[in-house]
Amino acid sequence: MFSRFWSQTAGGLPRVFWTLWSAILVNRIGAFGMLFLPLYLSAGRGLSLTAAGLVTAGYGIGGAGGSLIGGVLADSWGRRATMVTANGIAAALMLALAFAQPLWLIAGLTLFIGIFHSMPGPATVAAIIDIVPEESRSRAFNLQFWAFNLGMAIASALAGVIAEVGFFFLFALDAATTAITAYVLFRHVPETLMLRQGRPSRPWATRPWPARPIGSRPHPASGQVKRSTTPGGLGTALTDPIFMVFVGLTFIAAILNSQTSILQLAMNADGLSPAAYGIVAAVPGLLIVLGQLFVPRLIQGRLKGRVLALSLAVSGIGYFTLTFADVFGAYLMAAAIWTIGSMIAAPPNAEVIAELAPARLRARYQAVFFLTFPAAGFVAPAVGGWSLEHLGDVHWVLIGVLGLAAAAGHLLASRPRERRVARLLAAPAALPTSATV
């Protein structure tokens, strides 16, 4: 029975997808450093909650720039080159952070780590869209989200124990797994963009592949490949109103998900240990690992806007319950609630981006979408540290209200977006290959 379920869920996906999946898993298992950075700054370096939040916010500032840079590079330089380079540099920076002592150096390294941690995101998703057939993308995105959270669950459980030994090991092990990720991508993942010279890159040289590059089509008269030069770039994504409304609502969802950086400060104030926070942080990943593969069946055939609205409402309620949390069990219960919300949002989020993005600007649209997460990574700790310090539990009330407001926004925005997608599906496919920044 399980084998049949797994075959229906994961069967038929390309081998390169599973290599990307494995790289994501390895990278997330070692994602120790940034997970415990606020606690390191407050408990290990003696900074106030506000100051710790501001330094951590530098990671979000860097990530915002990194997402845009990564999207442009992935569409012009290549998916593989962007992923390998960014992970390699991130590993070196993380190792430097393990040895850093001056606060100004820690702040600077945090900023640059944010840049290079965020660069591979748009390239990874664009690569998955490149190689996975449209009818299988929902399964692929669901499995990608599953791998991400499986790795985070393992990392969270291990990180709490490692932090008890010493924060140095968190950063050093993070650097090691990031370097391994870069190596796996370099050795085993081809360039899926395949625009250079109209042929696949070396890793696929001995495997069957279309003779023409992705994004080109034969001229109807001559049968020769003809490339479109229709202009487009980041400005196209940033001035797309329906897409930007979706991005704005995703930013609010990211604000909710980024509350984990504040959660550890709240738990520390309640006298709970780093190991206790590690367990609570591992709960979302554990629940996602156990239940995420069943989500596509639960939401199949339902309007994406309604699913996303339900997701934000449930997440908001989960964070609202932290208003009353002061013991370990209460934090565990709240984490379980908001995790259910994030689980049902993952497949429709990815599908909406794939539907709205023109083929030639696939990574750029992903870059703007990914911008929401580092931006939230800046806003959440920068404002949240102050809010928790001065407003106390009212902070969690405000977060709950924010989630419910965004849920209403998805209901209002759903119908125009669905009409747009229907028009795109009805129109002849345009497959240009060149774009401007």
Residue 227 belongs to some domain of the structure: no
Number of separate domains in the chain = 1
| Containing structural domain, residue 395 | 14-197+234-426
**Which residues, 6+ apart, have CB-to-CB distance to 419 below 8 Å?**
none
Residue 4 belongs to some domain of the structure: no
User: What does the longest C-alpha to C-alpha distance in the chain come to?
Assistant: 74
Residue 295 confidence (pLDDT) above 70: yes
CA 313 to chain centre: 20
Residue 352 belongs to some domain of the structure: yes
Residue 228 belongs to some domain of the structure: no
427 vs 399: which has the higher pLDDT: 399
Helix (H, G, I), strand (E, B) or coil at 305: helix
At 76-99, the pLDDT tens digits run: 888 899 999 999 999 999 999 888
Residue 338 belongs to some domain of the structure: yes
Counting Cα atoms < 13 Å in the Cβ hemisphere of 288 gives 28
Residue 348 belongs to some domain of the structure: yes
Q: What is the mean pLDDT of residues 11-32?
A: 84
- Say what the pLDDT of residue 195 is: 37
What mean pLDDT, rounded, does the chain reach? 78
CATH number of residue 45's parent domain: 1.20.1250.20
**Which residues, 6+ apart, have CB-to-CB distance to 22 below 8 Å?**
147, 184
Residue 90 belongs to some domain of the structure: yes
User: Which element (helix H / strand E) includes 218?
Assistant: strand 217-218
Residue 381 belongs to some domain of the structure: yes
End-to-end CA distance of the chain: 49
